[in-house]
Structure 1
Amino acid sequence: MNGDIRGEILQDRRSKFSVIVALAGLGIASYSAAPAQAVSTPLSNMTTVAKFTYSSGQQAENLALEPNGNVDVTFNQGHQVAQVNPSTGATTVLATLPASTNGVAATADGIVRGANGVLYVDYGAGNQSAIYMLDPSNNYSPQLFVSLPNMGWINGLALDSTHGNLLATDSTNGTVTAVSLQNKTSAVWAQGSALQPTSSTSKGANGIQVYNGNVYVSNTSTGDLLKYPINSDGSAGTMSTVATGVTSIDDFTFDSKGDVLAAENYSSQLAYIPVGSSTPQIVATTSDGLDNPSSVKISGTSVYITNAAYFVQTNPSLMKATLSS
């Protein structure tokens, strides 16, 4: 499938696909884990811990980890946030973001967990794009945190807790926007050709993570992983390229050693980039159960991967693998 076709499908899922979701506040049936697959070092024992329903808009786009071991997941087309118990597969919808009123189908994309368990979620809906806040003390009732009408395709979301900023990527305009947690002001934090998509139908800046005093951003269309040092005032330092050739890289994460695990969305692969290397190693594929993986996070020796299933549309799910020390 060429890049233009992929891009058209992605645009289609954003602007033309709409669903009626009747699952808000209800539990979703648990799913029995599938047999372990033959993933490659440093991963082993990959299983499916929760399976979702594509026709209900439950494309698992992004995830955040709870201290108790549960996993918070955004359902892209259902514009919902759900919580999964990986031990049982039991899945409960925490919140449904509002439907847009401008004719653009609303989506839920990036998610991060802030202080006191508050969740921040990207809301994609054209000129109604925004970040919503879900506070557990308020039963996760969605509250508009900041409107971002100039965002073309709000996507990845990260937290710079040192400077009190949320950082959101725009996959259409190829920018990173910083939002102050204190006063809710927003401003472009990073921009430039390295973040731009390579065509009008592809995705530029996508996944974003804060690690060890730096902000890392993936460009899906170029397959690059970029690094921006965070200056003492919270602004972006000079960009450098960490890795290239990470085909259709979406979201990614770091292990305790600084090695990278990256979800390769269109190619349905998981890539491993050891510290000091700029070349990805493929450690899991469709044969291991991957179906357009879009996000990956690590908790101890557990690796969690969301299968968005945008193209094949058969296996939207949350998967788990074991990470070797």
Structure 2
Amino acid sequence: MPRVPRPAVAAAVLALGTLAAAPAAGDGPAVTALRVAAHFDLARGQSPENVALAPDGSAVLTLSNARQVVDVNCQGRTRLLATLPAVANPHTPVVGAAVVLGIARAQDGTLFVNYATGTAATGIWRIPAHGGRPRQIAKLPPAGFPNGLALDERRGVLYAADSVLGTVWRVPRAGGAPTAWATGAALEPRNPRPAAKVGANGLRLHRGAVWVSNTNAGTLLRVPVRENGSAGAIQTRATGLYAVDDFGFTERHRDTVLAAMTGGSEVELVRPDGTHHVVLTAADGLSNPTAVAVRGRTVYVTSAGYFTQRDPNLLLARVDQRDRD
């Protein structure tokens, strides 16, 4: 049996602290036609953490503990695109090891990833469109934990959610000094234990706003982007999302969300009014899901297996027309 990595310990602590209060699942599935498109190997550090989608339907994944970025095509074949450089004596908050986390893809195929190391290597790294050597373009605080990541091509900026420092960082797409774009209690971790202090986590751009999940608080937040690019007041759009990780929107012009609930190995459908219910569980193939992405009617869910220590995978499904907003 492979050694349990520190990220798995953190997920376990977090899950045990939140699952007891989780509400019962609602009726009616929101997704159909489930299939596991690719399986990964925990012994090699291959825990799928985040996902970005390419126009051809392939998925680009970060494999956190392996420090890798891979492409999974429509047939489930995996191709290595890049490996983030090893770091001597990492002091990464929460997990203790160097891990690659959020990912964003530009229209030209350029990839951006968050790398958390507890050293000067912590920050946003750029990877060429077809893979190759990663290059750090922005340094973020080593004491932080840059997690979710999104690219606003129109404004030419990247947003990164810092789970430990409770901050949404804003960085020019070309790289440079980060700006603390959004801060406040709503983004901060709530757990007093260092190994489970995970606040702002998942991050998506949607309809003129930056949306963020807070794992410890179990909330889904919306931060409007003002005309001048500054952050508006943080709005709470849903609560009771226990151990929520990253998420995706089912429609470009609507606010219905599919959220990965990593501790309970579930995906929940969150409606615009904040109500939510479980639509996928471990019985469907989930194993501590960490991220959801949607293209058209196809749903992509990454499962890292941090807590279960089994079957990290990429699951595909279809949005059920009966559950459209």
TM score, norm. by length of structure 2: 0.85
Which deviates more, 201-210 or 147-156? 147-156
State how far apart, in whole Å, the 2-side matches of 1:280 and 1:132 are.
35
Whether the 8 Å contact between 2:11 and 2:263 is mirrored in structure 1 is no
Where does residue 84 of structure 2 map in the other structure? Answer: 97
TM score, norm. by length of structure 1: 0.85
Whether the 8 Å contact between 1:7 and 1:202 is mirrored in structure 2 is no
- Structure 2 alignment gaps of length 5 or more: 1-5, 14-26, 92-96
State how far apart, in whole Å, the 1-side matches of 2:312 and 2:208 are.
33
Whether the 8 Å contact between 2:117 and 2:142 is mirrored in structure 1 is no
Whether the 8 Å contact between 2:7 and 2:306 is mirrored in structure 1 is no
Please list every run of at least 4 consecutive aligned residues from structure 1 whose deviation after the TM superposition is greater than 6 angstroms.
none
Where does residue 259 of structure 1 map in the other structure? Answer: 256
Where does residue 239 of structure 1 map in the other structure? Answer: 234
State how far apart, in whole Å, the 1-side matches of 2:59 and 2:12 are.
28
Whether the 8 Å contact between 2:81 and 2:132 is mirrored in structure 1 is yes
State how far apart, in whole Å, the 2-side matches of 1:182 and 1:125 are.
22
Whether the 8 Å contact between 2:292 and 2:301 is mirrored in structure 1 is yes
- Confirm whether residue 76 of structure 1 aligns to residue 76 of structure 2: no
State how far apart, in whole Å, the 1-side matches of 2:295 and 2:11 are.
32
Distance 1:69 1:8, change over 3 A: closer
Q: CA RMSD in A?
A: 2.0
Is the partner of 1:69 in helix, strand or coil?
coil
State how far apart, in whole Å, the 1-side matches of 2:139 and 2:150 are.
17
- Structure 1 alignment gaps of length 5 or more: 1-5, 14-38
Where does residue 24 of structure 2 map in the other structure? Answer: none
Q: How many residues align structurally?
A: 292
Instruction: Give 1:315 shift.
Output: 1.1
Whether the 8 Å contact between 1:151 and 1:170 is mirrored in structure 2 is no
- Confirm whether residue 178 of structure 1 aligns to residue 170 of structure 2: yes
Where does residue 108 of structure 1 map in the other structure? Answer: 100
Is the partner of 2:108 in helix, strand or coil?
helix
Identity %: 38
| 1:1-325 matches, cutoff 5 A | 9-10=9-10, 40-86=28-74, 88-104=75-91, 105-127=97-119, 128-136=121-129, 139-182=131-174, 184-199=176-191, 200=194, 201-256=196-251, 257-275=254-272, 277-325=273-321
Instruction: Give 1:101 shift.
Output: 2.2
State how far apart, in whole Å, the 1-side matches of 2:302 and 2:178 are.
29
Amino acid aligned to 1:135: P
